Structures are given as C-alpha cells and as structure tokens.
Amino acid sequence: MTLFHDNRHFNFIEDSRDIFCFSLEDYNISHIDIHFNRERIKNEYLNDPRVKYEIIKESFIYLARHEYCHSLRCNSSSILKNFTEDQLGKIRNSTKFNYYIMENKFSEYYSDYYVYRHFSNIPELYFQKVLNILSMRNIDFDCMGMFPFREDTFNTSSQVFLYHYLQNLYRFHLCNRWNLILPFFQEVNRPNIIKLIYLIFEQFKNIIRRFSNFPERRDALFKLIDFLDKNDFKELNLNDILNSCEGFCQI
C-alpha cells in the first residue's frame, strides 16, 4: 500500500463461511476489507508438512498483495455491480460467454498483473500446483468439451472447461512461462485450444495497458466478449477465428 501511497484503513476480518483462504469483500476510498477463513488456511497451507515455513510466508505475502491489487480496479467495490441498461442488454443477449464469469477471470489477471509488475514474482508454489493438476487431468476430454461451443445455455461443459483453464493458466502468461504448459496440449494434439486461451490473455493484457480507467476497461472487455460470442467455434473454422482474434488483440 505504501508503494501506491494508499492511506486507506485496512481491515482483516475472520469469516468461516468464506470459500477462499483470503478474499477482498469490500472497499472504497477510505477502507479495504479482507476476509479470511482460518480453517481453510490451515487445511491448504499449515497442515501440509511438505509446505515449509518460507513457502508459507512467501505465499501469504503474495496473497495479501493479490487481494489488495483487486482494489485498484476502481474507487469502490460497489461500482463493480453497476451496469448501464445497454450493458445489461449485452449480458442478456450473450449466448456463449457469461460476462460475469469472464469479468471475474479478467479481475484475477488484472490483480496479478499489478502484483507481478510492482511487487515481486508470483511464488513457485502456484505454478507447481497447476502443473500437477494438468498432469492428472484428461485434457483431451476437456478440449472435446470446447468443440463446438453449445448455444443453449451459459453453463455448458464448453464454457466450464474454458473457464477452468482461464482460471488456472493466466499466471503462466503473465510471467512468460507459457512454454511449461504447451506440452500438455501438444501431446493430445490440441494446439488451437491453448492458442485461443493465450489470445484471450493477450487481450486481457492489452486492455490493462491501453486503458487507464475502469469504464474504458469494462467497455473493452464487453467488446472482447461480444467478439468471441459472435463466432461459431467449430473445429473446421477455428483457424480463421484464431487469426481474426489475433488481429483483434492487436487493435
């Protein structure tokens, strides 16, 4: 907070109902409220004898910075819930991509973008966790769920699998470690899927770098989701979509 000359009051609140170890729950120009779940912290970090003290310390410092950087998106968490009628119409009309979930993935990318840029490297623990997950997942099955994107509802396997990978792989993109995950997709001959995910991350990065305020970034995110939503993601024409998506990311 000193780095950003931030004088807001920082509140650390225990919440046994929280599904995360730490989470930013509320903030404005005067305060930041971070909730923590003591039992979840014990289960995920403190009760595992393989996780050494220095790793735990490094992880907690990172998590505190990650949650803090979420508060840099706008002046108040209440703003995140406010949409214009035009934006609400776009959300309702989206047939393949759930805006709320995509904004959540963008928010995670945004927060770690600032952690990585202004504070320090992201702990190795979080890369190893994902690599372990990838080694145990049936990636070919996951990728089959992405072709074609179904149009009947938001919550189909197509989107669920894509959101899963957007959630878990963004740090590799941020920290220039994409080469570590490519073999998992190349082994099952799914290079297009990983390229699509990479291009979405590229656009996330472009939105952060090109636009300086929250309304502009939200508008750009709507444009990205609208672009993706209008494409028919069938395997036969995915190469064309990826080429146009690559062009879109350079706009």
Write the DSSP assignment of 194-246 as a string of letters: HHHHHHHHHHHHHHHHH--SHHHHHHHHHHHHHHHHHS---GGGHHHHHHHHH
Secondary structure (3-state) at 185: helix
Q: Which residues of the chain have pLDDT under 50?
A: 148, 150, 152-155, 236
pLDDT per residue as tens digits for the range 108-159:
999 999 999 988 789 999 999 999 999 998 888 887 766 545 454 444 555 6
CA-to-CA dists, residue 73 to 82, 96, 111, 173, 230, angstroms: 14, 26, 8, 20, 27
Report yes or no on whether pTM surpasses 0.85.
Answer: yes
The 10 Å Cβ neighbour count of residue 127 is 16
CB proximity list for 10: less than 8 A, separation 6 or greater? 1, 31, 32, 34
The 10 Å Cβ neighbour count of residue 192 is 18
